[in-house]
Amino acid sequence: MTYRRSGAASVVLNVGGARYSLSRELLKDFPLRRVSRLHGCRSERDVLEVCDDYDRERNEYFFDRHSEAFGFILLYVRGHGKLRFAPRMCELSFYNEMIYWGLEGAHLEYCCQRRLDDRMSDTYTFYTAEEPGTLGRDEARPGGAEAAPSRRWLERMRRTFEEPTSSLAAQILASVSVVFVIVSMVVLCASTLPDWRAAAADNRSLDDRSRIIEAICIGWFTAECIVRFIVSKNKCEFVKRPLNIIDLLAITPYYISVLMTVFTGENSQLQRAGVTLRVLRMMRIFWVIKLARHFIGLQTLGLTLKRCYREMVMLLVFICVAMAIFSALSQLLEHGLDLETSNKDFASIPAACWWVIISMTTVGYGDMYPITMPGRILGGVCVVSGIVLLALPITFIYHSFVQCYHELKFRSARYSRSLSAEFLN
């Protein structure tokens, strides 16, 4: 069947009964992928693959979709606001509308993204766009389609460095980064062994080789951090991210130590600089946290701590209140009542705090303990109270941990599917 375009300068979109008039020029570069596909249709069959019905006389395209959701999406792509869920509408239904029109979950505001992730985690459900990863946040804004070709390689580079499962190149890059982290940690741990220090003192080449390995690892981490900063969308947000701050804390001490060595010399009389260099050198242990970029387990732990900070603060408050009460009572019972036969380990309340914390956590080093009968009874109450107080917030933290784990698994599954498609192609 031949498809003849109407000579009218505008077309009409009928979405669930709501009619929108668009010019043909705007239709060509419209930010929503499904709408822009109408401009390239050559037959009515192609048109009906995009929309549900077509009226040739009125030049009207019918879409049997949620009209209120499309209104929110249209306001967003026109730049009149931020994309949030429509009131009184299920999060999954709204997300399904977004996928239909060509948007992704990344276009939602952060608060709505969390709502969607929680809902998907609770129902063990996730959706996939028709063409995952082909539309970025910048393309959803007016003029984004024109800037897409110039920004596509930046988006690809960003995903390669930020999402280890997004492509084959990203997995290779992540594997190389993990190897460098392991090598640097092995060298750091070996350098603290007495035999290693003795061998390095006798054999100068061994120390030089370890310095070369250290410089190569630092060079890789520095280059990786610089590239990720260049391809990031928001430079201020990039600097504020916890993992990026940890990267800076792991890289900066090396350059500071090099500068101090250059200006003071290794055999300088400024011995205090030697202590500073050792402290800076030991700060490389932060490199281990870089593994959180590549392992879901560490990401889950970090995300759980971020979302459960209220529960963690509540737990710390419980412990501090119990420490204040039990330390004061133990100091009074063990030292304050009878000064002649007093327990010297409980000479002050701060000293008794140490006994309270190791008793509440059921560690029990045995370095200090009550010797009086009232003190021992108080010790038993302290241990039982510690078990109860520590167990109270655990349920909330565990539930959040499970949700975070499923959320990260869903995200990883989406990127893994795109990786599989790239491998097959």
Q: What is the CATH number of the domain that holds 211?
A: 1.20.120.350
Of the listed ranges 130-144, 247-261, 321-335, the least confidently predicted one is 130-144
Same domain, yes or no, for 110 and 185? no
106 lies in the same domain as 83: yes
**Which positions ≥6 away from 264 have C-beta within 8 Å?**
270, 273
Give the pLDDT confidence of 268-302 residue by residue, as tens digits: 444 444 566 667 667 777 777 777 777 777 778 88
Q: Residue 15 has what pLDDT?
A: 92
305 and 288 share a domain? Answer: no
Alpha helices in 136-241 (DSSP H): 144-162, 168-191, 194-202, 204-231, 235-240
Number of domains in the chain: 3
Question: Are 170 and 283 found together in one domain?
Answer: yes
Domain that holds residue 62: 10-129
* Residue 359 within a domain: yes
pLDDT above 50 (res 143): no
Of the pLDDT bands very low, low, confident and very high (cuts 50, 70, 90), residue 239 is confident
CATH code for the domain in which residue 49 is found: 3.30.710.10
Question: Do the bridges between strand 60-63 and strand 53-55 make them parallel or antiparallel, or are there none, so unpaired?
Answer: antiparallel
Find the mean pLDDT for residues 320-341.
84
Residue 329 pLDDT exceeds 70:
yes
pLDDT(364) > 80: yes
State how far the Cα of 213 lies from the Cα of 334, in Å rounded to an integer.
Answer: 56
